[in-house]
Structure 1
Amino acid sequence: MAAVAQATFKSIKSLVPLFDRVLVQRFKPETKTASGIFLPTSATSSPLPEATVIAVGPGATDKEGRVVPMAVKAGDRVLLPGWGGNAIKVGEEEYFLFKDSDILAKIQE
Structure 2
Amino acid sequence: MAINIKPIGDRVVVEAAPAEEKTASGIYIPDTAKEKPQQGTVVAVGPGKKDEPTTVKVGDKVIYGKYGGTEITYEGREYLIMREGDLYAIL
Q: TM-score range by the shorter chain?
A: 0.7 to 0.9
* Alpha-carbon distance in 2 for matches of 1:16, 1:80: 20
Question: RMSD in angstroms over aligned alpha carbons?
Answer: 2.0
Q: Which runs of 5+ in 2 are unaligned?
A: none
Return the alpha-carbon distance in structure 2 between the equivalents of residues 92 and 37 of structure 1.
Answer: 29
2:47 equivalent among 34, 58, 61: 58
Point out the structure with the larger strand share: 2
Q: Which has the larger radius of gyration?
A: 1
Q: Conserved in 2, the CA contact under 8 Å of 1:80 and 1:102? A: yes
CA contact (8 A) 1:85 1:96 kept: yes
Task: Return the alpha-carbon distance in structure 2 between the equivalents of residues 91 and 24 of structure 1.
Answer: 15
Contact 1:25 1:96 in 2 (8 A): yes
Answer yes or no: is 1:78 the counterpart of 2:69. no
The 1-side partners of 2:63 and 2:26 are apart by 28
Q: Would the aligned equivalents of 1:85 and 1:98 in 2 still touch at CA under 8 Å? A: yes
What TM-score do the two structures reach when normalised by structure 2?
0.84
Structure 1: where are the runs of 5+ without partners? 1-11
Q: 1:34 to 1:104 in 2, by over 3 A?
A: closer
1:38-74 CA-to-partner distances (Å, cap 9, x unmatched) read 4311231x2111110001001111xxxx3x1212100
TM, length-normalised to structure 1: 0.71
4+ runs deviating over 3 angstroms: 32-38
